[in-house]
Amino acid sequence: MGVAAAFPKPFCSLTEDSYGFRRASQPYNDGTIATFARRFGRPKLKIRVNPETRLIEHVEVLRNSTCGSVAHAAKGMVGLSADEADTKAGLILHHYPCLCSMNQEWLDDSLHDTLMHASGYIMNEEVAEQVKPYKIPPQYLTPEGHVEDKQGH
């Protein structure tokens, strides 16, 4: 028939050239779908973090989800610390009436979860990349008297 189609699961995994979650990602090549995916699909944000306070000052939505949950989450992220933003973004997204299912299914060959959780993971991944330079690295405790050998053990 010559009609291109893409069936992303979850829908917010759609980009200009692929869809699907992690290892289940599928490439496609269609200009009409790609044009749509420039505006709607996988979250694409521009996050401004204050380098002194490490708080999110502004979030610009470059690509929204079709249901609007990404725009909702962007508003809720303003004021969050860079240290917590990448884990809270997906939770904020879920407080919007996300259209993803809560039925568990195989999302790829090793992940059995819900589409709603996958949408949260996708949002968290987008935010994590942008706040990474502003996060405080985790600190680990070393027991008193512990001496590392030359191999770091």
Domain ranges of the chain: 43-133
Kindly state the average pLDDT of the residues 111-139: 92
Name the pLDDT band for 153 (thresholds 50, 70, 90). Answer: low
Would the pLDDT of 97 be above 90?
no
How confident is the model over 12-38, as pLDDT tens digits? Answer: 999 999 999 988 899 999 999 999 999
Angle at 151 between CA 148 and CA 153, to 5 degrees: 45
Cα 85 to Cα 90: distance, rounded to the nearest angstrom: 9
Q: Looking at the domain that runs over 43-133, which CATH code has it been given?
A: 3.90.1010
> Looking at the chain, how many residues does it have?
153
pLDDT of residue 152: 57
- Dihedral, CA atoms, 48, 87, 93, 120, nearest 10 degrees? 120
